[in-house]
Structure 1
Amino acid sequence: MKYLALIKKINCDIEEEVTVKIGDVILTGFANICPYPIEEDKSYPISISFTILDEFEIVEQQGQEKQFSRIGDTFAYEISGLLTEQGLLDANIIIEDEVFEDYSYIYGKYVKFKVDRISLEFLED
């Protein structure tokens, strides 16, 4: 899925670390594919993917929260949202990822899961 992301911060100390804002959601991730120079306070088209180092576990949540919660000062996030009937996650931005394909039994429910890192791919216009 393609998003228009505003660059909030480029970390000069950690190569590839970028903080972006998509709508009302602020994420810190890794610009693992960036075919052109980027600048703070400018917007660029991106796609988002997740890095999961251990086994992926998605659980149904009791509430109806939609959020990205960074875990401490790490690059890991706990993500909460509605897993739609189309296999998309609505977490205040719509996320499409093949990892959701195996969870059709909880489509239509609010879920949460952890990722070790969010990867940002900067796209050509």
Structure 2
Amino acid sequence: MTTEMKILAIDDLVEECMTILVHGNVIECFVNSCPKAVAVGETHWVEITIDYSDPLQIEESTETNALPQKIGDGFGYYLNGTLEGAIFRSFIDFSDDDIHYDYPELEAKPVKIKADRINLNFIV
């Protein structure tokens, strides 16, 4: 799924590290794919995906706030949302069939997922 975001910062040391603003949320992402030069202040269309450990750390939650919660200094986040079929609805919608098939008992319930990394893929 694609979404529009604004670049807030590009790390000086790790060029794949970018801080963005998406749907009112500031998140630090790992840039998987960026086929052209970009600059702070620009807006772009991107696909945002999540990487998570195997096994996935997921649990039913009472939290209804979809704000991403950063974990330490790395790229990790706790993401709250709801599983709806192949879509994990959080601060944005993530498409992921694996979660849906592996955890059918969590369908339509609020969940908390530990994301090891949030990835950006720029759309040309």
Do both share a fold (TM > 0.5)?
A: yes
Whether the 8 Å contact between 2:87 and 2:97 is mirrored in structure 1 is no
Query: Helix, strand or coil: the match of 2:46?
Result: strand
Aligned to 1:112: 112
The Cα RMSD (Å) is 1.4
Whether the 8 Å contact between 1:53 and 1:116 is mirrored in structure 2 is yes
User: Where does structure 1 lack aligned partners over 5 or more consecutive residues?
Assistant: none
Question: 1:51 and 1:63, CA in 2 relative to 1: closer, same or farther beyond 3 A?
Answer: closer
Matched, 1:66 2:101: no
Aligned to 1:3: 3
Count of matched residue pairs: 123
Aligned to 2:92: 93
Tell me how far 1:72 sits from its aligned partner. Answer: 1.7
Runs of 4+ in 1 over 4 A off after TM superposition: none
Q: How does 1:52-63 map to 2 (within 5 A)?
A: 52-63=52-63
CA distance in 2, matches of 1:53, 1:108: 22
CA distance in 1, matches of 2:67, 2:77: 10
Query: Helix, strand or coil: the match of 1:67?
Result: coil
Query: Helix, strand or coil: the match of 1:6?
Result: strand
Tell me how far 1:76 sits from its aligned partner. Answer: 0.7
Q: How high is the TM-score relative to the length of structure 1?
A: 0.89
- Which residue identity is paired with 2:8? K
CA distance in 2, matches of 1:92, 1:49: 12
Q: How high is the TM-score relative to the length of structure 2?
A: 0.90
In the TM superposition, what whole-angstrom CA distance separates every residue of 1:44-82 from its partner, at most 9, and x where no partner exists?
Answer: 110011222442121110232212111021211111112
Whether the 8 Å contact between 2:100 and 2:107 is mirrored in structure 1 is no
Whether the 8 Å contact between 2:80 and 2:112 is mirrored in structure 1 is yes
Matched, 1:22 2:22: yes
Whether the 8 Å contact between 1:66 and 1:82 is mirrored in structure 2 is no
Between 1:94-103 and 1:62-71, the stretch displaced more is 94-103
